[in-house]
């Protein structure tokens, strides 16, 4: 009743059936014997984007700073971008949480994550420091990145240095591990 059927073999790189070869010019991998072999390139996964989804801006100065942080939504559509302005006291920090949006409602319920693309700090002396995407030392998507503002120099882009959900923070549900 059932016949033994050999499964079709597919050449994954070219997405076509492999030749099993009675033809003199082909082998069973679909490559020519006469020297005109198909140059196959090995598949490489694309690099993960260096996105920062949430971050701390750490004020390491002895004066308060005005901080502006920009989140970008969908590329090429400014309507999903968001700018947050805060004042960060001396020797303190501010947490900027991950932001979600749903651009295609009601057709799609897919959520997108906004990415941090710009941090601008204005010090009390009027000096303005800025840092833009892609940020130094970010090699893959990450949450809870840190930007340190110092008395001298530019804004430092640093990996997370601590566990985020420490009791000193209010509204712990917004912090991510």
**The pLDDT of residue 167:** 44
pTM of this structure: 0.69
Which residues of the chain carry a pLDDT beneath 50?
A: 1-2, 5, 7, 10, 12, 15, 19-32, 165-172, 175, 177
For 20, 39, 101, the CA distances from 107, given in Å and listed in that order, are 46, 43, 14
**The pLDDT of residue 52:** 97
**The pLDDT of residue 141:** 94
**The pLDDT of residue 38:** 53
**The pLDDT of residue 56:** 96
Domains along the chain with CATH numbers? 55-161+170-174 (2.60.40)
Residues 71 and 82 sit within 8 Å (Cβ to Cβ): yes
**The pLDDT of residue 35:** 52
**The pLDDT of residue 116:** 98
């Amino acid at each position: 009743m059932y016949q033994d059927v050999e499964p079709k073999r597919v050449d994954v790189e070219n997405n076509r059936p492999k030749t099993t070869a009675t033809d003199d010019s082909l082998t069973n991998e679909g490559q020519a014997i006469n020297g005109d072999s198909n140059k196959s390139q090995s598949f490489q996964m694309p690099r993960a984007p260096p996105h920062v989804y949430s971050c701390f801006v750490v004020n390491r100065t002895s004066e308060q700073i005005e901080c502006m942080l920009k989140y970008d939504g969908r590329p090429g559509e400014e309507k999903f971008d968001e700018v947050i302005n805060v004042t960060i006291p001396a020797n303190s920090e501010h947490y900027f949480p991950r932001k979600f949006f749903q651009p295609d409602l009601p057709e799609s319920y897919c959520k997108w994550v906004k990415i941090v693309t710009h941090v601008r700090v204005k010090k009390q002396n009027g000096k303005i420091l800025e840092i833009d995407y892609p940020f130094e030392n970010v090699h893959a998507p990450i949450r809870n990145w840190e930007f340190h503002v110092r008395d001298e120099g530019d804004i430092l882009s640093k990996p997370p240095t601590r566990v985020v959900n420490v009791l000193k923070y209010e509204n712990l549900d917004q912090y991510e591990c």
